[in-house]
Amino acid sequence: MNTSNITNYKPKDFAELLGVSVKTLQRWDREGTLKANRTPTDRRYYTYDQYLQFKGINTENDNRQIVIYARVSTRNQKDDLHNQVSFLRQFCNARGIIVDQCIEDYGSGLNYNRKKWNELLDEVMEQKIKTIIVTHKDRFIRFGYDWFEKFCMKFNTTIVVVNNEDLSPQEELVQDIVSILNVFSCRLYGLRKYKKQIERDAEIAKELQDGN
């Protein structure tokens, strides 16, 4: 199965992907250089296959890898990790997708320094990965998924999100929220520690401003 046609793009997103303006896309559409697809309501859209064709990439001889990526925060969640992998393998088998690599990762979705995740991104940049398949966006990254999706697209890699909410452990979300609160609490504590100095600096600044 060709998974590359799963993603459709609005003209604005597609223009950003190609590094051109929306007006350029509109002109190309009129001239027949790059024809837009149309929805039943006559809205324009573009596909990932069009992106590959525009870049001159031959999808028929694409031997890059299709990768399953599964992640949980701690090793206490091995059952959740196993469920993710099993679900994704069933998903791929049902669609005739041959999986070349299965990555099982441990680490918070807030952590950008996960070793296996970074190795996967390195392979993306090396043009070794065709498709990454995950159960849910937060399995790949908790925040900033859209940025990383566009980043992968720059290297002609598609991320397929199956969107199985049941395989996105809720306790992880709670842990991540607590982690964020802890960070801001520490910063707030630091501000309180220097409260008097901050107030004094503000007074000096006001005096200088009034003096001017």
Supply the CATH number for residue 80's domain. 3.40.50.1390
- Cα–Cα distance measured from residue 59 to residue 33, given in angstroms and rounded to the nearest whole number: 20
Q: If we measure between CA atoms, which residue out of 112, 98, 205, 190 comes closest to residue 151? A: 112
In which domain, by residue range, is 19 found? 8-55
Residue with tokens 């509109």: 26
Residue 130 lies in a domain: yes
Please give the pLDDT value at position 154. 87
Chain centre to alpha carbon of residue 194? 38
Answer with the one of 124, 141, 161 that is the final residue of a domain: 161
The catalytic residues are 73
94-106 pLDDT tens trace: 888 899 999 999 9
Please tell me the pTM assigned to this model: 0.60
61-81 pLDDT tens trace: 778 999 999 999 888 888 989
Residue 181 lies in a domain: no
- Same structural domain, 49 and 71: no
Six token digits for residue 14: 């597609």
- Same structural domain, 16 and 94: no
- Same structural domain, 14 and 81: no
- Cα–Cα distance measured from residue 137 to residue 112, given in angstroms and rounded to the nearest whole number: 15
Residue 36 lies in a domain: yes
Q: Helices in 41-162 by DSSP H: which ranges?
A: 48-54, 78-94, 115-125, 137-140, 145-154
Please give the pLDDT value at position 179. 54
